[in-house]
């Protein structure tokens, strides 16, 4: 288990690469969808979103019990849920390309169903 910062009696924040997941504390069920299967689904979705990006590789993975929010390092929201669920979070990185020095993809996948809850490609200089 990854260590995190306890916010209050019901909330914990956990670093996932350069992102921060906010989770409700409590018991989580074992994921029905494997990490490997969910990661493949996530990579396929990112490729679908932008087929011009080459070299995406998985750089971080986290099982987030009862995920509430996912934010970038500056605190900007990437994903939010009104009904926390057990999710997989995947961070993919790629070499600089298309005029961008930083190329990342982040995907949130429901660990019970395998459905994609959020997928984004983030490119910056």
Digit-coded pLDDT (tens) for 28-43: 788 999 999 999 999 9
Could you tell me if 12 and 4 are in contact, meaning their C-beta atoms sit under 8 angstroms apart?
yes
Given this model, what pLDDT does residue 52 score? 94
Q: Count of domains in the chain?
A: 1
Given this model, what pLDDT does residue 3 score? 61
In this prediction, residues 56-74 reach a mean pLDDT of 95
DSSP-derived secondary structure letter, 33? S
- d(CA 104, CA 13) in angstroms, rounded, equals 21
Split at pLDDT 50, 70, 90, the class of 1 is very low
What is the share, in percent, of the chain residues with pLDDT greater than 90? 82
Neighbours of 29 (CB within 10 A): 9
Digit-coded pLDDT (tens) for 75-101: 999 999 999 999 999 999 999 999 999
Given this model, what pLDDT does residue 7 score? 61
Asked whether residue 68 carries a pLDDT value surpassing 60, the answer given is: yes
Q: Which domain holds residue 52?
A: 5-124
Query: Which residue has 């997989």 as its token pair?
Result: 88
Q: How many residues does the chain have?
A: 125
Element (H, E) at 88: strand 77-94
């Amino acid at each position: 288990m990854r260590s995190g910062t306890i916010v209050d009696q019901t909330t914990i924040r956990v670093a996932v690469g350069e992102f921060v997941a906010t989770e409700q504390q409590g018991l989580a069920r074992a994921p029905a969808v494997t990490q490997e299967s969910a990661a493949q689904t996530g990579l396929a979705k990112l490729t679908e979103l932008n087929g011009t990006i080459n070299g995406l590789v998985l750089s971080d993975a986290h099982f987030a019990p009862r995920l509430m929010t996912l934010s970038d390092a500056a605190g900007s929201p990437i994903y939010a849920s009104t009904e926390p669920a057990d999710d997989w979070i995947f961070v993919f990185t790629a070499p600089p390309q298309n005029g961008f020095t930083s190329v990342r993809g982040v995907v949130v996948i429901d660990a019970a169903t395998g459905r994609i809850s959020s997928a984004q490609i983030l490119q910056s200089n």
